[in-house]
Amino acid sequence: MLQTPSGGAGSGTAARDSEPMSIGTVLNMLRDEFPEVTISKIRFLESEGLVEPRRTPSGYRKFGADDVERLGHILRMQRDHYLPLKVIREHLDAVECGEAVQLPVVGRQRSAEDMADEPSEGPTVARIGRGELLAAADIDEAELREWESYGLIAPLADGVYDAEAVTVAALVAELGRFGIEPRHLRVMKAAAEREAGLVEQVVAPLKRHRNPQTRALAEARTKELAALTMKLHAALVKSALGVRLP
C-alpha cells in the first residue's frame, strides 16, 4: 500500500468499500478532500497512465479501493507539492517497488533561504500545458480560443496554465449544456476578479515582507479568505434564487 506523501490521512473513504466503483462514485469520494476534482480530471490521469481501472466487457470503468487511494495520493502531491505528472509517476512507481524515496523538490518549490533573498511571487501553483488542458477538460482548440477571448481562461506569462483552468473549463462546458454561453459568463468573471481584488488588498501588507514565514502566512491567509468568499458567494446565490442546494 502507498504511503501518504505529506502525512495526510489518505483516501480513507476508499477503504470503506471493496466492491468495484463507477467513476461517478469515485468522484464523490474524492471530493471530500478535493472539492475541485472533476470526471475529466480523473479521465486525464488515467490517460496519462497514473491509474488503471479495469474495464467491463461493455467498456465501463470500474475502480477498486487501491485505485481511489492512488488517485488521492496523486491529487495530494499536485496540490501540496506542485509536482508535475511525470515526477509523480516516477515517485509512485518507486514506492510500489519498495524503495525508500523522498518527494523531490521541483519547479517553483524553494528553500526558505532562497525565498528570503527574493521578492514575493505570490502563491505557487500547479502548471499544465495547452495540450494537457484540452485533454483534461475534453474540449477542442476552437472552444478554448473562444473562452480565452471572453477572459474566462488565460495562460500565464510563459504560455502554460494554472491547474485551476481545468476546473474552469469543465464548469464552462457543463453550463453550456444548459444553453449558457461563454459570453454570458463575463459577469461571473468580473465578480470573481472583484472578490480576488478584495482578498489581495487584505493580504498585501503580509506579502510585502521579506520574512519567508510572514509570506507563508500571507499564502495561508489568502487561501482562507478565498474559501470564505466562495462560501459567501454561494450562499448569496442560493438566497437570491430562493433554493436550497447541497
40-69 residues labelled b (16+ CB within 10 A) or e (exposed): bbbbbbbebebbebeeeeeeebbbbbebbb
| pLDDT band (50, 70, 90) for residue 227 | confident
Locate cell 490521469: which residue? 45
Structural domains of the chain, ranges and CATH numbers in brackets? 12-96 (1.10.1660.10), 127-241 (1.10.1660.10)
124, 114 contact by CB (below 8 A) = no
- Distance CA(91)–CA(245), nearest Å, equals 40
pLDDT digits (tens, 9 = 90+) for 19-43: 888 888 898 899 888 888 888 889 8
**Percentage of residues of the chain with pLDDT beyond 90:** 13
Q: Does an H or E element contain 2, and which?
A: none
- Distance CA(90)–CA(101), nearest Å, equals 10
- Segment of 6-20, 79-93, 143-157 carrying the highest mean pLDDT: 143-157
pLDDT digits (tens, 9 = 90+) for 187-197: 888 888 898 89
pLDDT of the residue at 100: 64
- Distance CA(142)–CA(79), nearest Å, equals 29
Closest CA to 62 of 14, 33, 26, 34: 26
Amino acid making up residue 203: V
91, 49 contact by CB (below 8 A) = no
SS3 211: coil
Strand positions, DSSP E, 52-148: 54-55, 61-62, 127-128
Residue 3 has pLDDT above 70, yes or no: no
Does the CA dihedral 75-80-81-84 come out positive or negative?
Answer: positive
pTM over 0.85: no
